[in-house]
Structure 1
Amino acid sequence: MSPELIAVIAVIVVAMVFDYTNGFHDAANAIATSVSTRALTPRVALAMAAVGNFVGAHFGAGVAKTVGDGLVHLPTGVESLGVLFAAVIGAITWNLITWYFGLPSSSSHALFGGLVGATLFAAGGSVQWGNIVEKVLIPMVLSPLVGAALGFVVMIALLWLFRKGQPGKLNRGFRWAQTASAAAMSVGHGMQDAAKTMGIVVLALYTGGFADDKTHIPEWVFWTSAAMLAAGTYAGGWRIIRTLGRKIIDLRPPEGFAAEAVASSVLYFNALVLHAPISTTHTITSAIMGVGATKRLSAVRWNVAGNIVIAWVTTFPAAALIACLTYFVVAPLFG
C-alpha cells in the first residue's frame, strides 16, 4: 500500500473510534431524561437512541460539509493526514477524561479544538478563524442560552395549559410523550454528531488524494459513521447519564418532555437550516436547567451546573492542547 493510503486508513480508524466514544459519551443527550423519569427502561432507551442516531446521520450532510470544508485548510499530502490524526486523538482523549469524571462536555467542541490545535503548527495549514467564530464559537455561546430560555418558556406554557390536570394522569401521559421527544432528540443527535465524523473522513479522503471534492460524501461514509455512533450509543455512558438525569434537577415526565422537545428543535434548526455544527450536549443540558428553573432557582443544583460549565469552557482549548502535543509526537510518522 502507498503511504497515502496507509495514512488515510489510520485517520479513518481513529475517526471511527472517536465516533464510538462520541456515542457512549453523548448517549445521555438522548435518553437521560427519559430514563430518570422512568418513561423508558435504560436498554429500551439506548436501543431507540441508537436507531435514531443511525437515521439522523443520513440527514446531516450540511453539517458534515461545514466540518470538512469550513473550519481549517490543509494542503494535500501525507503530512496533513498527520494533522487530522492528531486532531482526532485530541478529541478522543478529552472525551475519555470527561467521561471518567461524569461531565457532559461537548464531543463536537473537542473535535473542533483538536482540529485547530493540530493545524496551528502544521506546515501549509491554516485555521479559518472567521468560520470558527461564526460556526463554532458564537453557537457555543448562543445554543445554551437559547436552550435555557426556550426550556423555561415551554415549561411555563405546559404548566399553564395543564394547570387543572391530575398529576397522576399527567405524568402517565407525558411518559408516553417522552417516547416521541426522546426519539426526536436521538435523530437530532445523529444529524449533528455523526455528521462531524463524516466531515473528518471526507477531509481525509480529499487530503490523501482519494477524492476530488471535499464536500461530496460517499454513501459508505454515511453508513459507517452512523453505525459506529449507534454502536457507541447502545454501549451507553452511564456516568454522564446519571449526571444529566439526576444530579442537575429532579426531573418529572413533564420536565423531561419539555427539555427534550426544546433541545431537539434547536438541533433540527441548526442542522437543516443553518448547517451549523452545534453541541447537542450544551443544548440538552441548558434546556434541563431552564426547565428546572421554573420550579424555583434553587431547584437547579448550581454547583453541579457550575462544574459542567467549566468543562464546556475548557473543552476547546484542552482538546487543542492535547492535539497539538500529539501532532509533534506523530508528525515524524507522517513525514
Structure 2
Amino acid sequence: MSYVGPEPDGFDDFYRDDDPGQGPGGRRFRGRPALIALAALVPTALAAYLVWQVVSGPGESEPPQVLPAPGTSSASSDASPQDSDAKAPSAPPSKTATSPAAPRTSKAPSKPAGGGSGPLRGKVVVIDPGHNPGNFQHPADINRQVNVGNASKECDTTGTSTNAGYTEAQFTLDVSRRLRTLLQEQGATVKLTQNGDRAWGPCVTERAAIGNEAKADAAISVHADGSAAGNRGFHVILPASVQAGAADTRPIVASSRDLGERIAGKFLQATGQPPSNYIGGGTGLDTRSDLGGLNLSTVPKVFIECGNMRDTQDVNRLTSGAWRQKAAQGISEGIVSFLRG
C-alpha cells in the first residue's frame, strides 16, 4: 500500500486506512540491520512455517503485466468490485492527486464467481485489490473523509508505484485475479471488491461492507508497500481489538490472526520473500487499529503487503509475472489452510 505524502523517501501506507495509502512522507519504520535466525524471530504460531525451505526462487524473466490505463475498464469474466483502505505507515511516491475530479461511473458489485466442486465448495472468499488505477483522476472523491469507527480517514488513496511507474493498483489487480482463479479451482465462491471496472474506489468503508454483506468466510486485501529503499520483505496486517462507533473487531480478532499467520507461513514458503525487515520484528506480522477495511469488517480479514515497491530486490520480484503467480499461490494456500482448519 502506499500513502499520500512525501515522495519516494518515505514509507508506504498500506492503504490509507485499511487499504493503506500515503506517500513517501508517511510513517517510517526502523530497518533491522541483519536477519536473525528465522526460527528465533517468528512467534510460536509461525515457527513451523518459517522453518520450511524454499526449494526454488522466484522467476524474474517475465516483464510486468500492463493493465488498462487508469479509469478504463478491463474485460474479464467474473468481474467484481474492489475494496481498499488507506495505508498509514510508509512513504511511496506522492499520492496527492492533481487531476480534476470526473463523474463517477461505477458498477454494482457482480455476483460472486465460483462455487464449483472442490474442497472449498460452499466457502465464500472476498478479495480486495488495494486502490484503483483510476483513483488519481478523482482526488475530490477519494480524498473525502469517511468514518472508520475510531477515526476519520480518506475514502481511498492512489497507492504507490515503482520508480519506473509500475503502480500498486496494477500489481494488486493482477495478483488478485490470479488468486481468484486459484481459489475458484478449489471450489470457492470468490468476490472482488473491484476489478478495474469502476472509475475510482470504492471507499474503504464500502470495501469492508462488501465482505460483510457476502458473509465471507475469509477476506484479504492485497497491497504492496512504498517504503524507503533497503526496506524489504512482506508483512501481513492483523486487526487490533477496536470497539468504537460502527467498529467492533472483537469477534474477529482471533480468527483473523489465525488467517494471517497461515497466509504468512504459506507466502514465505511459496515465494521465498523474507518477512519484513522494517516492521513486525521479523515475524511478518503487524497489528493495526487505524485501517477502515479491518476496523469495519465483521468477517475474518487481513491485509498483506507483498513487498516494497521502492526497493530494488523487491521490485525485481513484484514486476515479475512468474513471481506474482507464486504470490497468489502462497496467499491461496494460506486461505485454504484456514478454511479447511
Please, what TM-score do these two structures have when normalized by structure 2? 0.27
Q: Which has the larger radius of gyration?
A: 1
Instruction: Considering fraction of residues, name the structure with more strand.
Output: 2
Instruction: Considering fraction of residues, name the structure with more helix.
Output: 1
Q: Greater relative contact order (Cα 8 A, min sep 6): structure 1 or 2?
A: 1
Please, what TM-score do these two structures have when normalized by structure 1? 0.28
